[in-house]
Chain A
Amino acid sequence: MPLDHQANQDEKDFRIVGQRPLRPDGIDKVTGRARFGADMTAPGMLIGRVLRSPHAHARIRSIDTSKALALPGVKAVVTRDDFGEVSEDLHDVLVNCMAQDKALYDGHAVAAVAAISASVARKALKLIEVDYEVLPHVTDVDEAMAADAPALYENAADESVPAGMSKNVVRRYEFGHGDVETGFAAADAVFEKSFKTEATHQGYIEPHACLATLGPDGQGDLWVCTQGHFAVRNVCAALLGMEVSHLRVTSSEIGGGFGGKTTVFIEPVALALSRKASRPVKMTMSREEVFRASGPTSSTSMDVKIGMNSDGRITAAFAELRYQGGAFVGSPVEFGAMSAFAPYDLEHAKTVGWDVVTNRPKQAAYRAPGAPMAAFAVESVIDELCKHFDLDPLEVRLKNASTDGSQASYGPKFGKIGLTATLEAAKNHPHYSAPLGPNQGRGVACGFWFNFGGQTCVSLNIQDDGTVGLSVGTPDIGGSRASMGQMAAEELGIPYEKVRTIVADTASLGYNDISEGSRVTFSSGMATIQAARDAIQELCSRAAQMWGIDEDAVVWEDGHAKPAGENAGKFDPMSLADIAAVAANTGGPIAGHAEINADGAGQSFATHMVDSEVDPETGRVKILRYTVFQDAGKAIHPSYVEGQFQGGAVQGIGWSLNEEYIYGEDGRLQNAGFLDYRIPVASDLPMIDTVIVEVPNPGHPYGVRGVGETSIVPPLAAIANSVSAAAGVRLTHLPMSPPRVQKAIKDAK
């Protein structure tokens, strides 16, 4: 990036960055004024509903929609035939939105209707006749890898998969360096264990919802709850054969996403219905549909082998990871394989990942996709070795920790990173020395996530009263409107309250990548800073004109244009508001822009510490105390950073203890609702304590690192280590629900 990054961000004297101003969306959200996906209406609006497969795997012989179309009040019915051919990279996206020749999982969309009311739409769905040929199914990853498993596809594997494997094995990944066998031979002890994790849903409170308008003139508008409205626009336009600029997409407020709203489900269907009916169509998923047909994360099966010397030094590490990603290629096993050993500086490391398809919904990204499961397996084996050698688990991690210049197990050498700082903070925290009672245990674990930047655009408009309108293109999923406002105010030297930040629609800015990859505060922040500097240059130019001096003779300090020195002349400083007030007379409106590809995202590490108590009779686990230590680089708005830390920990608690997709013998999901799929509620949780560590990222002008995903990487492992210590037996299968814990205790006796 061409930005003149601070040589040493630690020493930058921030005025607004690092403060905790009130959140700009707070009033809207607590008063109900905020408009989410389902809150938009339009004149003449129809209601869309989807017919979903009741079978886990079935050939679709025919679909007869004639009776549904004849029902009074029904205005349109669509099936796969209403979409044209698409490019290979979008084929799976379309098939997931609307089945083609086969239903690939329970809940797979096969048709949709638009009607004048929800009740008419529901009646119409019952009139659609689908002739299915039910096929054998498979939902478990290990069973899907068996040679005789029912195959979803004939030829989905790429060149990486060796011949002779199950047709459900579609990709193989391998990372590492050194020679693990040499390393194992040099170890004082080598431990190997197998682990399983069940699929969990992102659990966002707001279901998918949108309002689509696509008229006979080919012009479309889409209001949608999403993490990436530019990506939604491009994908929907491609699926519907539209030109990109003919579809404008506006993102609503978002009631949680966590990666699950980075793709499309109902949006192209709503547009297709609207096009056919020539009326606006609103679609909202029910909670049951969210569970059955929007992305959970992968379920996994993993083997980890680690060698260690009696002094705690790891000599070699190997992991074989098997992730099922639902009915389509693309489980996050490659990221699991890349991140598994990233926290550790190892001479010999190797990971192998297998991507497997099953008759489940297509997995969608879930916060640091693929990493938490791998960390669970790796950190559990390290914990076992620490116990074997009677070593302090934090000291062992410090001894092996990746530091600046370490070669990561996935390839590159690390730049400036903060893992050691998080471990030191954990070691020195009072939590680590707090006493434990009977049936209680303490666990620690480390986690890593890559972070990235991506395409980003920002427009910053100086209004004539000296206030600032800041338009960003990344939906606000974690407080970014506040942090962007802070960075703009910091650069411009004006109060935070003078900046209003909005998320602009797709017609108003250039392309923005999705709000994913912990990239928003990093990349939109970088663009905001650049846009502010662009505006400052213009402000200085206007002042120079008014003073009749060279532009180079003007500097911007504390929100004012000033002569650069004695030689520049003697003029009273002009504030941003002074210059803005006469902008019409000095050249017109003043604005700053940035259209960038933000590179330089810094990797992020965390250490988590958990105390739990196990009831040996029932197997119930209670989390007693939880502390997160994570490197944020620079916390722009510490309250939001702490919120990200806490949110990751809480989702990790649910993943570890309760949440799981349960499939019956018939391949149908048995717990598609929050009564039977239990996410943690406030009464289940202690206060999650947080410690923000700041090791500035040299790739960002303020030192920012992404924080949104790393916080979910260590919890599964830290909680498993804690529960295993409390129960006196190693827990290897998540979630550690009461029956599993009870059985493990019983089996160990």
Chain B
Amino acid sequence: MLITVKIWGSLKAAAGDQSEVQVEAKNIRQMLDRLGEAHPRLKPQLDRGVSVSVDGQIYRDAWFTPLKPENEIVLLPRLSGG
């Protein structure tokens, strides 16, 4: 299924100057794989690590979190804290 992923500003250039990209994916792992394939310049950041917000909930490592077309999906830097 086709999902829409928002990406943060500094990655826009690596995604063909788009702030939203669409990929075929059923879960977070598929989404990250498809993003890297469709936009190879995103790969360095994807490899360094990202978080994914799905309807406002932040996921760091959960590959198999299901994604649906109606979800708000936002790629974010990998979150940590103190």
Judge whether B82 and A412 touch: CB under 8 Å: no
- In the complex, A414 has a CB within 8 A of chain B: yes
A residues in contact with B12, CB < 8 Å: 174
| Stretch of A270-278, A312-320, A365-373, A725-733 on the interface side | A365-373
Knowing A365-B80, A450-B79, A518-B81, the reply to whether A415 touches B57 (Cβ < 8 A) is yes
Tell me the total A-B contact number using a CB cutoff of 8 A.
103
A residues in contact with B79, CB < 8 Å: 335, 450, 452, 517
Judge whether A411 and B59 touch: CB under 8 Å: no
Judge whether B10 and A450 touch: CB under 8 Å: no
Judge whether B58 and A450 touch: CB under 8 Å: yes
A518, B80: Cα distance in complex, Å: 9
Judge whether A174 and B57 touch: CB under 8 Å: no
A227, B56: Cα distance in complex, Å: 27
- How many chain B residues touch A (CB < 8 A): the figure is 28
Judge whether B82 and A365 touch: CB under 8 Å: yes
Nearest residue, chain B, Cβ from A698:
B57
- In the complex, A350 has a CB within 8 A of chain B: yes
A residues in contact with B65, CB < 8 Å: 599
B residues in contact with A518, CB < 8 Å: 81
Among A159, A172, A415, A452, which residue has its beta carbon within 8 angstroms of that of B81? A452
Judge whether A415 and B82 touch: CB under 8 Å: no
B residues in contact with A175, CB < 8 Å: 8-10
- 1/0 per position for B68-82, CB-CB distance to A under 8 A? 000010111101111
- In the complex, A160 has a CB within 8 A of chain B: yes
- In the complex, B37 has a CB within 8 A of chain A: no
A601, B30: Cα distance in complex, Å: 23
- In the complex, B6 has a CB within 8 A of chain A: yes
Among A158, A174, A260, which residue has its beta carbon within 8 angstroms of that of B9? A174
- 1/0 per position for A414-451, CB-CB distance to B under 8 A? 11000000000000000000000000000000000111
A160, B45: Cα distance in complex, Å: 10
Judge whether B82 and A367 touch: CB under 8 Å: yes
- In the complex, B38 has a CB within 8 A of chain A: no
In the complex, chain B residues 1-46 whose Cβ is within 8 Å of any chain A Cβ: 6, 8-10, 12, 14, 41, 44
CB distance from B78 to the nearest CB of A (A): 9
Judge whether A600 and B57 touch: CB under 8 Å: yes
B residues in contact with A413, CB < 8 Å: 55-56, 72
Among B41, B59, B62, which residue has its beta carbon within 8 angstroms of that of A159? B41
B residues in contact with A450, CB < 8 Å: 58, 79, 81
- In the complex, A393 has a CB within 8 A of chain B: no
Judge whether B9 and A159 touch: CB under 8 Å: no
- In the complex, A334 has a CB within 8 A of chain B: yes
- In the complex, A265 has a CB within 8 A of chain B: no
A709, B80: Cα distance in complex, Å: 11
- In the complex, A455 has a CB within 8 A of chain B: yes
- In the complex, A183 has a CB within 8 A of chain B: no
- In the complex, A262 has a CB within 8 A of chain B: yes
CB distance from B9 to the nearest CB of A (A): 3
- 1/0 per position for A691-724, CB-CB distance to B under 8 A? 0000000010000000001000000000000000
Judge whether B56 and A369 touch: CB under 8 Å: no
CB distance from B68 to the nearest CB of A (A): 16
- 1/0 per position for A377-419, CB-CB distance to B under 8 A? 0000000000000000000000000000000001111110000
Knowing A517-B80, A597-B62, A709-B82, the reply to whether A699 touches B9 (Cβ < 8 A) is no
Knowing A452-B58, A599-B65, the reply to whether A174 touches B8 (Cβ < 8 A) is yes
Judge whether B56 and A368 touch: CB under 8 Å: no
Knowing A365-B82, A516-B81, the reply to whether A597 touches B6 (Cβ < 8 A) is no
Knowing A159-B14, A338-B76, A599-B57, the reply to whether A411 touches B81 (Cβ < 8 A) is no
Judge whether B72 and A412 touch: CB under 8 Å: yes
Nearest residue, chain A, Cβ from B51:
A452
A364, B58: Cα distance in complex, Å: 23
- In the complex, A361 has a CB within 8 A of chain B: no
Among B51, B72, B81, which residue has its beta carbon within 8 angstroms of that of A519? B81
- In the complex, A176 has a CB within 8 A of chain B: yes
Judge whether B9 and A369 touch: CB under 8 Å: no
Nearest residue, chain B, Cβ from A177:
B19
Knowing A597-B62, A599-B59, the reply to whether A159 touches B44 (Cβ < 8 A) is yes
Judge whether B53 and A158 touch: CB under 8 Å: no
- 1/0 per position for A170-207, CB-CB distance to B under 8 A? 00111110000000000000000000000000100000
In the complex, chain A residues 152-177 whose Cβ is within 8 Å of any chain B Cβ: 158-160, 172-176
A residues in contact with B10, CB < 8 Å: 160, 172-175
A residues in contact with B8, CB < 8 Å: 173-175, 410-411
In the complex, chain A residues 232-272 whose Cβ is within 8 Å of any chain B Cβ: 258-260, 262
Interface centre among A260, A414, A449, A517 (most CB of B within 10 A): A517
A residues in contact with B6, CB < 8 Å: 411-412
Judge whether A410 and B76 touch: CB under 8 Å: yes
Interface centre among A176, A410, A414 (most CB of B within 10 A): A410
B residues in contact with A601, CB < 8 Å: 58
A118, B62: Cα distance in complex, Å: 47
Among B44, B74, B76, B82, which residue has its beta carbon within 8 angstroms of that of A158? B44
Judge whether A176 and B82 touch: CB under 8 Å: no
Judge whether A516 and B80 touch: CB under 8 Å: yes
A367, B80: Cα distance in complex, Å: 10
- In the complex, A619 has a CB within 8 A of chain B: no
A residues in contact with B44, CB < 8 Å: 158-159
CB distance from B11 to the nearest CB of A (A): 8
Judge whether B53 and A412 touch: CB under 8 Å: yes
A599, B56: Cα distance in complex, Å: 11
Judge whether A452 and B60 touch: CB under 8 Å: yes
CB distance from B28 to the nearest CB of A (A): 11
B residues in contact with A258, CB < 8 Å: 82
A205, B17: Cα distance in complex, Å: 48
Judge whether B56 and A414 touch: CB under 8 Å: yes
B residues in contact with A338, CB < 8 Å: 76-77
A258, B81: Cα distance in complex, Å: 9
Interface centre among B59, B60, B74 (most CB of A within 10 A): B60
Nearest residue, chain A, Cβ from B65:
A599
Judge whether A699 and B81 touch: CB under 8 Å: no
Judge whether B56 and A412 touch: CB under 8 Å: yes
- In the complex, A454 has a CB within 8 A of chain B: yes
- Between-chain CB contacts (< 8 Å), 29 pairs: A158-B44, A159-B14, A172-B10, A173-B8, A173-B77, A174-B10, A175-B9, A175-B10, A259-B82, A366-B82, A368-B81, A410-B76, A411-B6, A412-B6, A412-B55, A412-B72, A412-B74, A413-B56, A414-B56, A415-B55, A415-B56, A452-B51, A452-B60, A517-B81, A597-B62, A599-B59, A599-B62, A601-B58, A699-B57
Interface residues of B (CB under 8 A from A): 6, 8-10, 12, 14, 41, 44, 51, 53, 55-62, 65, 72, 74-77, 79-82
Q: Which 5 A-B pairs have the closest CB atoms?
A: A259-B82, A517-B81, A174-B9, A365-B82, A415-B56
Given contacts A454-B61, A597-B61, 5 further A-B contacts (CB under 8 A): A173-B10, A175-B10, A412-B56, A415-B56, A455-B61
